Structure 1
Amino acid sequence: MKTKGILLASMLALSPIVAAEKSLQQQIDELSDRVDYNELQATLNKVKFGLDFNTSMNNFFVNNNGNSSTQANKWLMGLYLNMNADITKYAKFTGRLAMTKAFGDQSLMSSNSSMIPIDAGKYVGGGSAVYVERAYVDLFLGNYWALTVGRLPGTEGPGYNLRNGAARMSTYPALLANALGDGGVVTFKPYTNAALRVGFAKVYQPLYETENSGAGSIFRESGGYSQADMNLMFATFETPFLPKSAGKSLAMLSYAYVSNYSLPGANISNALNNINDGSGSSLALSLPRSDSINLGDIAYTNLHLESYNLLGSGLNWFASFSWANTTKRENFFGPTTSLPIPDEPAASPTGSLIFDLASSYALHVGVRYDFGSHFKLGYEYFHGSKNWYGFSRVSANDPLNIRNTRGDVRDVYAIFQLDQFQFFRLSYTHLKRNYKTPDSPSAPVATDITTRNLSLAYILRLR
């Protein structure tokens, strides 16, 4: 009995200690939860948001082979949500969500001048759906190397920014490539402000085997047209080319190789069904409407130069030149027809669907003078050769897609800067097509189309 009493007394003496330990542990758990919550909030606060918004009223005056028409008071809107986050010292995220809407969601251009929307259908008439224009992570591997993975910054590159009153929006020249692509880039910076980049991207990859089969053909191992994927491999070197005292400058020498230039089979099939082979019969194909077709390969070489505030004078300019050459052509008519592929594109009944083997070039130059901080005046000129095909897309800031013109474009604009965030832009664009705007790098089809656009735009930019 005496022993039991001693044990009971000991337990009663320890109970306050046990209770204190439990209370202390509970406090530690609560503090841990608070720390985790604060760390999460701190991480989320690393994501910084910005906003681009523009809306414009356009007046189109078109002369199509002698037939004149006017499309006045046409409205266009673009909304862009920008995201940036410094994840760690060695990792940075950048993203951009976009939505464009044109004229009540009607397609802007006619079949004579619209391009097939290879980048998920998100072109200027893409409707009110929000889509990811870019989303990538930069991983910094020491002082000289970086790896970029994700949806790459391939839209509105150098050559866009002067007219849009913006800083450099993308890494690569707009005249080299202006499209959505998912992939990776390795960057080597041997010294300050110079960089060598080598990258790879998937630009178009079909998701459907047949019209009713649903998604999944990107994992399919069997043969067929639906495996045709468009790949973009590129390399670029950039460096300043003027002394710092002369202002900010940039020179870029780039090479891009587009392999398996692919388009949705429905677009090709529908077009071929309207072609006469010269014997009075049309080319009826049995291609699955949702498959894609490989048309061939293209190689681009681009030299881009630009300078800002030259010698402190307020003069800004850029000059961009591209040379393109198709290096392969596929017999995309396939086994379902006995029509032979001509040796030369000119032998085709129309030439419009044969992947053209001719070389081509394009030149784009622009100059803008800033009269103080509130008024800027600019001029741009573009020329695309007879066989030119620009790897470009329509956008809210370029509804005519001037970089895909086989002919000449002249544009004059005035920017009225209200403050550092917003401005109005009044512009007049004169576009002369000597050959129809191609849906693919196809043989030229002669035409005589002049399009003029008088536009007033309001642009808001918060970053």
Structure 2
Amino acid sequence: MVKKISTLALVGLLALPAMASAGAGGAAATADVQAQVDALTKQLNALKAQMADIKTTQDQKFESFDEKAEKWDLASRIQLSGDFRSRGDYYTRDRRVSNVAMFTAPGAPIAYTEVTDTNNSMMTNRFRLDMRAKALENVEFKGRLAMYKAWGMQSTPDSDGNAPIGAFPAFDGNATRTPGDSALQVDRAFVNWNNIGDSPVWFSVGRRPTTDGPAAQLRMGQDERMATPTAFMDWPFDGISAGYAYNNLFGMQDAPGRVRICYGRGFEAGLNQDQSATASGGINDTDFIGVSWDVYKKGNRFAYLQSFAAMDVFSYPDFSDSLTAMGMEAMMGARYNMGNIYHTSGVYQDKYENLNYFLTAAWSRTDPNTNGMLNDWTSGAANTDKENGYSVHLGVRYDIPDSLFKIGAEYNHGSKYWIAMTPGHDDVYASKLATRGNVYELYTIYDIPGGEAVSKFGKAFIRLGYQHYDYDFTGSMDWTTMPYDVNDDAEAWKANFAGQDIIDSADQVYLTFEAQF
């Protein structure tokens, strides 16, 4: 309607001079006006067609934009982050080799050869990709893929089978935690169902976040807790958990925490197993069950307790390398269950001004079946006694004010029968928290001045550290064989009979370049 009125008005304006000169121009003037009107009409029609084309193009662009916006929205649901670490290690150990052949009866003369094993430069790269996405408002997925390999290797660099004590060939309990090949593997993958019934209750299932627990984050250059259990339980496994969060503890106001009941599987025995679970007849599944309790967590203060049972533990795990598994079976016979292991630990962590500090204590107890546990193979009889082990771990990290440097120190001690569940440790060679003896560590962290962080995940630093292992007993993290005193020459032939190395001490220097994004 507006366009029609505009056209009539224009025609009227053009017609005024023509009407004023009608007497002089007559019919010729009228014809000129009509010609101008026809020309203007054609121009208006052409303009309408152009406007229609423009509208169609704009509609198509808006539709395309809507489609892209929808795709952007879908993509933005997945939050990605990650980290990269390049690390170099120097490792050396003092090992004694006796002249007593395996299976030699006691009483034979004992002599030793001192051996120094050294790796002057063990270089590794580790890349991890974290992802997080919501399926529903209260159902969330979290996952992490990891590649971890040694420079120049596409397999675990274990010195042709001469792995340090506390180390394992690749199996489910150290997947992505031991240098292997360049493939990305699933490190963590689990789904949380939060706010069940509009209450602070949640359920979670999948491959658990059970590595690098507190207080490991301090020496690893992190400010946040990285796992559910303490560092004494450093074992990737699949399982479920159910938890409850609270804000007030035993009547104390503003005392937040959370408690979880956890279950996991450490070994799947498969079909048609003999439930007698003896050395001569089959094996049961190995399962974990326990309680993980953040007693108090507010600001820098953190108090934590955990207690769990490893039920029907295996004599040796299901190694990924079939040749390694065949070698174990040839030496130890078919895989079998040995009983249960009970484990309780607690950690208290806090910060005073620029000084971070923590204290951790733990207890382990064996509960063997008739196959025994911590067996003295020279006696010919299974050790069915319940053996108690203990460990302490303490440390500090001082964040130097107005500086890019942090410095830290840690100490841990394990008793004769101490058993840590740490096949997924991050010490490259031997797990320090599994040591039956003492470990001392010094480190410094330098925050790289590379400009402002481009996201909340952004961080880059260099870490330099030194560890000294001082062993008291053999077989750290081994629940199959009796620990033998490394300082007692009379026990040398027993350790030799059991196929154990006698390691007096070890030293390790590490240097890392790390970036988080």
User: Which TM-score tier does this pair reach, normalised by the shorter chain?
Assistant: 0.7 to 0.9
CA contact (8 A) 1:181 1:204 kept: no
Give the whole-Å Cα distance in 2 for the aligned partners of 1:352 and 1:382.
Answer: 33
Match for residue 107 of structure 1? 157
Q: Compared with structure 1, are the counterparts of its residues 394 and 196 closer, same or farther at alpha carbon in structure 2 (3 Å cutoff)? A: closer
Give the whole-Å Cα distance in 2 for the aligned partners of 1:73 and 1:435.
Answer: 27
Q: Compared with structure 1, are the counterparts of its residues 161 and 439 closer, same or farther at alpha carbon in structure 2 (3 Å cutoff)? A: closer
Shift, 1:136, TM fit: 1.0
Match for residue 296 of structure 2? 240
Match for residue 260 of structure 2? 197
Give the whole-Å Cα distance in 1 for the aligned partners of 2:292 and 2:121.
Answer: 41
Q: Deviations over 1:296-344 (max 9, x none)?
A: 2111011111113x2xx2111121111011123353xxxxxxxxx7xx9
Matches within 5 A, 1:377-416: 377-396=407-426, 398-416=428-446
Read off the aligned partner of 1:205 and give its amino acid letter: E
Match for residue 317 of structure 1? 357
Q: Which runs of 5+ in 2 are unaligned?
A: 1-61, 97-113, 248-254, 276-280, 450-457, 487-502
Matches within 5 A, 1:132-151: 132-140=186-194, 141=196, 142-151=198-207
Q: Does 1:256 align with 2:308?
A: yes
TM-score by length of 2: 0.68
RMSD: 3.2
CA contact (8 A) 1:240 1:250 kept: yes
CA contact (8 A) 1:115 1:437 kept: no
Q: Which runs of 5+ in 1 are unaligned?
A: 1-30, 207-216, 276-284, 332-340
Give the whole-Å Cα distance in 2 for the aligned partners of 1:327 and 1:87.
Answer: 43
The structure with the greater share of residues assigned to helix is 2
Give the whole-Å Cα distance in 2 for the aligned partners of 1:93 and 1:255.
Answer: 26
SS in 2 for 1:240: strand
SS in 2 for 1:44: helix
Give the whole-Å Cα distance in 1 for the aligned partners of 2:378 and 2:66.
Answer: 72
CA contact (8 A) 2:173 2:266 kept: no
Give the whole-Å Cα distance in 2 for the aligned partners of 1:301 and 1:346.
Answer: 23
Match for residue 82 of structure 2? 51
Read off the aligned partner of 1:407 and give its amino acid letter: G
Matches within 5 A, 1:156-305: 156-166=212-222, 167-175=224-232, 177-191=233-247, 193-206=256-269, 217=270, 220-223=271-274, 227-240=283-296, 248-262=300-314, 263-264=316-317, 270-271=327-328, 273-274=330-331, 285=333, 287=334, 292-305=335-348
Give the whole-Å Cα distance in 1 for the aligned partners of 2:511 and 2:418.
Answer: 29
CA contact (8 A) 1:407 1:434 kept: yes
CA contact (8 A) 1:364 1:382 kept: yes
CA contact (8 A) 1:425 1:458 kept: yes
Give the whole-Å Cα distance in 1 for the aligned partners of 2:370 and 2:185.
Answer: 32
Give the whole-Å Cα distance in 1 for the aligned partners of 2:133 and 2:92.
Answer: 44
Q: Which has the larger radius of gyration?
A: 2
Match for residue 36 of structure 2? none
- Count, aligned residues: 389
Deviates more, 1:185-194 or 1:143-152: 185-194
SS in 2 for 1:415: strand
Read off the aligned partner of 1:401 and give its amino acid letter: S
Match for residue 455 of structure 1? 510
SS in 1 for 2:134: strand
Give the whole-Å Cα distance in 1 for the aligned partners of 2:229 and 2:285.
Answer: 22
TM-score by length of 1: 0.75
Q: Compared with structure 1, are the counterparts of its residues 355 and 430 closer, same or farther at alpha carbon in structure 2 (3 Å cutoff)? A: farther
SS in 1 for 2:217: coil
Shift, 1:439, TM fit: 5.7
Read off the aligned partner of 1:127 and give its amino acid letter: D
Shift, 1:374, TM fit: 0.9
Q: Deviations over 1:331-376 (max 9, x none)?
A: 3xxxxxxxxx7xx956531799968731101111111000035100
Q: Compared with structure 1, are the counterparts of its residues 414 and 222 closer, same or farther at alpha carbon in structure 2 (3 Å cutoff)? A: closer
SS in 2 for 1:409: strand
Read off the aligned partner of 1:412 and give its amino acid letter: L
Shift, 1:76, TM fit: 2.0
The list of structure 1 runs, each at least 4 consecutive aligned residues, that deviate by more than 4 angstroms after superposition, is: 31-41, 224-227, 265-269, 271-275, 344-347, 350-356, 394-398
SS in 1 for 2:336: strand
SS in 1 for 2:152: helix
CA contact (8 A) 1:394 1:400 kept: no
Q: Compared with structure 1, are the counterparts of its residues 236 and 329 closer, same or farther at alpha carbon in structure 2 (3 Å cutoff)? A: same
Shift, 1:132, TM fit: 1.2
Match for residue 22 of structure 1? none
Shift, 1:103, TM fit: 5.0
The percentage of counterpart residues that share the same residue type is 23
